[in-house]
Structure 1
Amino acid sequence: MSTAPATAAIPGYLAGTWRADPDRCEVAFSLRYLTFGTARGRFTGCDATIVTREEPRASAVTATVDVASIDTGNEKRDKHLRSADYLDAENHPTMSYRSTGIRRSADGWTVDGELTLHGVTRQVPLAVEPDGFGPGPSGGQQAGFTATARIDRRDFGITARTDGGGVLVGNKVSIRLLVRAALVR
């Protein structure tokens, strides 16, 4: 077992409280569509706070995403996805994530946490890669993170079907997060 500190694997690591820059964050998703293609989209409204501790495993993250900010490049489809058939943005305007632990994994880091979507909370681990810490182009310190996860939409009560009863969209949703944050304290 290595005696090197966990921070040695993270270039420029800094402890502190970081606030995500909403203009430089992406919450993207993809899933199978009509059994022959892939549907892709993103949410443009995201608020996240990351608290990095001297010991990275003691760090934490919280995030909230505006469900109505969904953007697939097709307004008609986006309106349908906001409806009660899918995300039900009127009754569930946000989804949120709260970390419950951070651990080293074979490929880097895993953030264990709870995702609340469509009024349902489930454990969802995020495979996280710290992109680095350092001075930002406008001054101040910045940090970047990339994270991925995969969920089953049915676990969150999202079970829309076509009029004929066939599956319109796949069940497995791949999620990719790109987060750029500024040190606030």
Structure 2
Amino acid sequence: MISSYSYAAPVNYEIDAGGMHASVNFKIKHLGYSWLAGRFDKFGGNFVYDNEDPSKSKINVNLDTASVNSNHAERDKHLRSKDFLDVNKYPTAEFVSTSITENGNDLVVKGDLTLHGVTKPIEIKAEKIGEGKDPWGGYRAGFSGDTSIKLADYGITYNLGPASTEVFLQLNIEGIRK
């Protein structure tokens, strides 16, 4: 959907990563019985969006792996350890898009995810939430996307059981036009 405030050329946005209007969330099955959910509290990045030609769009997101937050201090300490994120060796994770295409009303964002020192291509199914002027004289655009990754693909091989090999990621971003 193109708003009446849309721009015909690519527009640069800074991700509003203060936690108020953006989030990077994850969930993984716990023993196959329930979901363990969490988020990364510190991240940032930018994106370029072109309403007329989404293929000219791109996104770059960096996150602080030590900011993992599963609402349980001891578990978070373990997630930061060498068994999982190894935050001392790999303090950041990064996603850089390689292509963005329209698929009906949705977007397909392909790119490279670097996590735990390993870079692999992933695909994010995304949707544009909206765009327009904000009450403070700025201009914003927001998107949401989902994907999943296999931990072993990124060298994270700690045995959580057969039901817990895949992590589902959700990225909700709101950008402020630069």
Q: TM-score, normalised by structure 2?
A: 0.91
The whole-number CA distance in structure 1 between the counterparts of 2:75 and 2:163 is 12
Q: Corresponding residue for 1:86?
A: 84
The superposition leaves residues 13-65 of structure 1 with CA deviations (integer Å, 9 ceiling, x where unpaired) of 33311001112210000010122121100001111110123522111111100
Aligned counterpart in structure 1 of residue 24 of structure 2, from 16, 27, 40? 27
Gaps of 5+ in 1: 1-8
Shift in alpha-carbon separation, 1:109–1:72, aligned structure 2, 3 A: same
The whole-number CA distance in structure 1 between the counterparts of 2:105 and 2:125 is 8
Percent identical = 32
Shift in alpha-carbon separation, 1:93–1:169, aligned structure 2, 3 A: farther
Gaps of 5+ in 2: none
Q: Which moved more, 1:49-58 or 1:17-26?
A: 49-58
Q: Does 1:141 align with 2:136?
A: no
Structure possessing the higher radius of gyration over alpha carbons: 1
Contact 2:125–2:147 (Cα < 8 Å) also in 1 = yes
Q: What's the C-alpha RMSD, in Å, of the aligned pairs? A: 1.6
The superposition leaves residues 105-147 of structure 1 with CA deviations (integer Å, 9 ceiling, x where unpaired) of 2551101100000000111111110111101132210111101
Q: Corresponding residue for 1:44?
A: 41
Secondary structure of the 1:128 match is strand
Q: Corresponding residue for 2:129?
A: 131
Q: TM-score, normalised by structure 1?
A: 0.87
Alignment of 1:69-84 (within 5 A): 69-84=67-82
